[in-house]
């Protein structure tokens, strides 16, 4: 039998190995989330080192997210075609390598290129993780599993904002890229060695037929709604540190602490919201609309604060609202597209979602540069989840066709 593959004598939804799959998928996604979040607290120091203005820093973040969008669109198809283990491990290893290279750059064009390269390879492990969870967890408990998986994005923010400011003070911004790049490569090797692929899926190595996804109205709406949500989430992650330092006079460590609390609040909330949606029979649309609406309010309130105490009071509420819509949306993907196309659907929808992350750094930088208004910047962020909530109202939360979603018994 080929290494990395195994037969399954037990039902996927009851096999204890599913928790190994979840932990490894979560670890890989956590490392790419750390890599992505490192830019926020490191951006001012990188700009000073390379001689880039505050508004110009958004180009580096946009470079990353352009690569990330490309890899999500392509990575989902590669996951359904080549298998989740290979795609997850190889892409994470290369992302870690380019993190290390970015830490060595003294050139603005080369730095932007390396950021784009990190993004290109960092986007594949998301769709690979969604595919693995869709295979190994039944629809009735998939909400909780997706909630655990999606804690990676908020945990990545916490780790980066807790570690990077201190590394900046003790060893310089380059050290953070070296440390997290090396850690990414180690996790990638573990995924390649330990993740097992189901034999029936390993035998299916044809290029997936994407026509059902293109025709799915609900998948399009879900993708566009996520665009609005991530406009707010990653706009905050990318710019909040610099805005609090430049706009409100906080120190880098203080701003990092605020964003770390923002991320910590979401870690427990994501599995909880997934569990609640499981208790509701897998109905997740209404919860998503409510959360996005709360996100709008929290961003506007945060934009009216002007002190460390004020930011610390709002940060946990903002963190919950900014993250818990994502596991609800992700858990809806296999139900709409079916497990067989879960990787491609996850990659395609996340590509739409990440377009918000690609555009917002430059837009927000321009708004703050033109207005010098902290509130105007956060009102700009709040527009994204507002549009997302309205679009979610049009998503039909229908039961999947039997040939597309096979629930284990």
Mean pLDDT, the chain, whole residue set:
80
Reported as a pLDDT band with limits 50, 70 and 90, residue 207 is low
Cα gap 192→210, rounded to integer Å: 27
Name every residue whose Cβ is closer than 8 Å to that of residue 127 and which is 6 or more positions away in sequence. Answer: 72, 75, 76, 79, 87, 343, 344, 346, 347, 350
Pairing of strands 197-198, 5-6: parallel
- Confidence band for 25, pLDDT divided at 50, 70 and 90: very high
Give 126-145 pLDDT, tens digit per residue. 888 888 888 888 777 778 88
pLDDT at 106: 81
pTM exceeds 0.85 for this model? no
CATH architecture assigned to 16-392: Up-down Bundle (1.20)
- % of residues, the chain, pLDDT over 70: 87
Question: pLDDT-derived band of residue 408, with 50, 70 and 90 as boundaries?
Answer: very low
pLDDT in tens, 331-377: 888 777 766 676 777 777 877 777 766 678 778 878 877 887 888 88
CB 147 within 8 A of CB 270: yes
d(CA 93, CA 176): 17
pLDDT-based confidence at residue 185 (cuts at 50, 70, 90): very high
Would you kindly state where each structural domain of the chain is located, as residue ranges? 16-392
């Amino acid at each position: 039998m080929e290494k990395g593959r195994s037969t399954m004598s037990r039902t996927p939804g009851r096999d204890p190995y599913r928790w190994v799959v979840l932990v490894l998928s979560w670890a890989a996604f956590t490392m790419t989330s750390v890599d992505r979040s490192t830019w926020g607290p490191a951006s001012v120091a990188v700009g000073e080192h390379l001689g880039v203005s505050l508004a110009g820093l958004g180009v580096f973040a946009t470079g990353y997210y352009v690569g990330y969008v490309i890899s999500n669109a392509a990575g989902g198809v590669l996951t359904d075609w080549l298998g989740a283990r290979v795609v997850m491990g190889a892409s994470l290893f290369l992302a870690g390598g380019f993190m290390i290279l970015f830490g060595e750059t003294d050139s603005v064009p080369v730095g932007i290129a390396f950021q784009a390269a990190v993004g290109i390879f960092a986007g594949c492990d998301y769709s690979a993780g969604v595919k693995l969870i869709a295979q190994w967890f039944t629809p009735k408990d998939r909400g909780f599993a997706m909630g655990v998986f999606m804690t990676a994005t908020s945990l990545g923010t916490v780790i980066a904002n807790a570690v990077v400011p201190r590394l900046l003070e003790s060893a310089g911004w380059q050290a953070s890229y070296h440390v997290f790049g090396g850690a990414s490569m180690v996790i990638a090797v573990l995924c390649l060695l330990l993740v097992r692929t189901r034999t029936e899926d390993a035998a299916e190595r044809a290029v997936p037929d994407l026509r059902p996804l293109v025709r799915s109205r609900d998948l399009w709406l879900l993708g566009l709604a996520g665009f609005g949500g991530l406009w707010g989430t990653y706009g905050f992650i990318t710019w909040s540190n610099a805005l609090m330092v430049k706009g409100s006079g906080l120190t880098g460590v203080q701003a990092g602490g605020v964003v770390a609390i923002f991320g910590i609040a979401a870690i427990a909330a994501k599995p909880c919201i997934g569990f609640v949606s499981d208790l509701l029979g897998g109905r997740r649309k209404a919860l998503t609309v409510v959360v996005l609406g709360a996100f709008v309010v929290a961003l506007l309130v945060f934009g009216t604060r002007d002190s460390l105490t004020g930011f610390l009071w709002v940060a946990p509420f903002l963190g919950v609202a900014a993250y818990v819509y994502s596991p609800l949306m992700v858990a809806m993907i296999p139900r709409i597209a079916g497990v067989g196309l879960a990787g491609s659907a996850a990659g395609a929808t996340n590509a739409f979602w990440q377009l918000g992350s690609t555009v917002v750094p430059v837009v927000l930088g321009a708004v703050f540069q033109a207005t010098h208004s902290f509130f105007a910047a956060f009102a700009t962020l709040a527009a994204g989840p507002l549009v997302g909530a309205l679009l979610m109202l049009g998503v039909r939360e229908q039961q999947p066709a039997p040939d597309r979603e096979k629930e284990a018994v």
